[in-house]
Amino acid sequence: MKPRSLILLMLSLTMGKLLSQPTPDQGRIGWITLDPGHFHAALVQKSMHPSISSKVHVYGPVGTDLDLHLARIKAYNQRQNEPTSWVQEVYRGPDFLERMLTEKKGEVVMLAGNNRLKTNYIAKAIRAGFHVFADKPMAIDRRGYRMLEKTFREAGEKKLLLYDIMTERYEITSILQKAFAGYADVFGQLEVGTTQEPAVVKESIHHFYKEVSGSPLQRPGWFYDVRQEGDGVVDVTTHLIDLVQWSCFPEQKLDYDRDIRLDAARRWSTHISPGEFSTSTRLDHIPDYLKGVQASDGNLAIFSNGQIDYRIFGHAARVKVTWAWQAEPGGGDTHFSLMRGSLAHLIIRQGKEQGYRPEFSIESAHFKEASYRESFDRAFREIASVCPGLSYRLIGKEALIDIPLTCREGHEAHFARVTAKFLDYLSLRTLPAWEIPGMLTKYRLTTEALELARRKMP
């Protein structure tokens, strides 16, 4: 298989130990957090990073969003197990953006907050000479995509990095699925598929009310406004589209007009009661900007759900995201992924039967053949060499992969992984040739799918 060595290197880097202990602060990268409104801004700092200065400059307006962010960082600093040592230098005020742009107290601007504002923040930061590390989505509508496309060109001219936070690449089951897909004698070739039976399916279920870092998550009121957070078609779908590109067509430069065909898109709402909204946001009233989606019974109709059917290099793919209020006891956000190959199907499940923990399996009618078993065992040994304790159980035509706890990390730990990857790219002052075309393709697909989904609705 080509290139097996790159897959194994990726696996070994992913399984390495996270750095949590503080490091000397000399010559570190100046880090700026701008208008943090999403808890992902804090998760980037859940672990210390040897390349980042322990003094982080934070700019934002006076309000709850900024206060919650600072409280999360403080909690990381004060935890008993491997506490961090961040020093937050904070500026609060209505002119926070102008102050950040003119004071230039760092090289990297980190963004995770209101997505309606984010694209403009990205453009202004690049124009001012900063590198940008941004949470998804970087654009939530067609106008935002056009601005983002222009900003990528400007970043290239200025030799600046603009990179989004794709944490799902660091989930062990996603890594295993990608690795096995690279073995043609095990997976075969990716099927062409149809809209009714896609070659690739990626679905996830998320919840408005949940715990983060051991505490109930308080969401901002604007999170429920798709004009600010982003419609379901353009938000979490970015992760799923990225996984399709990353796992099925690794390191291939995409051209939207040549390689992508949008077939269908739809959006639908989740109903949130005033009581649920209050529990989630701790606001005692419905903000005016949400009155337009409030029905006569008081419930809010939030268009947080979306599905996109498209073709990539001619192969049918489907991504689907749904949101519910709260998971059942013991549950959480879930992920399902299917890749159909001519010799095997590669499947990730994370439902009740799996205890809401992602599990990976390979299904093939060829397991009864000795030559196929030999090919599978050879591939398994190569992949398992970087994860001691990895094993499998063959039950009929399905190989269930048993993943040891040492190779499992929660979603929160993945933020340290993707931050470390960004810092690696920053040290080289360049991104791989396929990354920028991939990001542009992803955001053009989501924003054009949103336009299509809106046209299809009454």
pLDDT single digits (tens) 31-74: 999 999 999 999 999 999 999 999 999 999 999 999 999 999 99
Mean pLDDT of 250-259: 98
Q: Residue 399 above 80 pLDDT?
A: yes
pLDDT score of 331: 84
pLDDT score of 332: 84
Q: Residue 9 above 60 pLDDT?
A: no
Other C-beta atoms closer than 10 Å to the C-beta of 285 total 11
Per-residue pLDDT reduced to its tens digit, 174-207 = 999 999 999 999 999 999 999 999 999 999 999 9
DSSP notation for 100-143: HHHH---SEEEE-S-HHHHHHHHHHHHHTT-EEEEPSPS--SHH
Q: Give yes or no for a contact between 11 and 386, defined as CB atoms under 8 angstroms apart.
A: yes
Mean pLDDT of 271-276: 97
Q: Residue 117 above 50 pLDDT?
A: yes
Q: Give yes or no for a contact between 350 and 334, defined as CB atoms under 8 angstroms apart.
A: yes
- Rounded-to-integer distance, Cα 132 and Cα 56, Å: 15
- Rounded-to-integer distance, Cα 37 and Cα 41, Å: 8
Express as a percent the part of the chain with pLDDT over 90. Answer: 88
Q: Residue 345 above 90 pLDDT?
A: yes
State the CATH class of domain 11-168+419-432. Answer: alpha beta
Q: Give yes or no for a contact between 331 and 306, defined as CB atoms under 8 angstroms apart.
A: no
Per-residue pLDDT reduced to its tens digit, 134-171 = 999 999 999 999 999 999 999 999 999 999 999 999 99
By C-alpha distance, which of 163, 50, 60, 156 is closest to 108? 163
Place of tokens 């990528």: 152
Mean pLDDT of 329-356: 93
Express as a percent the part of the chain with pLDDT over 70. Answer: 94
Place of tokens 């982003």: 230
pTM of the model: 0.94
pLDDT score of 450: 98
Q: Residue 15 above 80 pLDDT?
A: no
pLDDT score of 25: 63
By C-alpha distance, which of 188, 180, 191, 215 is closest to 347? 180
- Rounded-to-integer distance, Cα 44 and Cα 12, Å: 21
Domains 11-168+419-432 and 169-409+441-456 share a fold: no
Q: Where residue 307 falls among pLDDT bands split at 50, 70, 90?
A: very high
Ranges of each domain in the chain: 11-168+419-432, 169-409+441-456
Q: Where residue 457 falls among pLDDT bands split at 50, 70, 90?
A: confident
| Beta strands at 300-312 and 260-272: parallel, antiparallel or unpaired | antiparallel
Q: Where residue 386 falls among pLDDT bands split at 50, 70, 90?
A: confident
Mean pLDDT (the chain) is: 93
Q: Give yes or no for a contact between 143 and 115, defined as CB atoms under 8 angstroms apart.
A: no
Q: Residue 22 above 50 pLDDT?
A: no
pLDDT score of 20: 47
Q: Give CATH for domain 169-409+441-456.
A: 3.30.360.10
- Rounded-to-integer distance, Cα 45 and Cα 56, Å: 10
**SS3 label, residue 173:** helix
By C-alpha distance, which of 433, 35, 400 is closest to 251? 433
Other C-beta atoms closer than 10 Å to the C-beta of 244 total 24
Question: Which DSSP letter does residue 253 get?
Answer: P
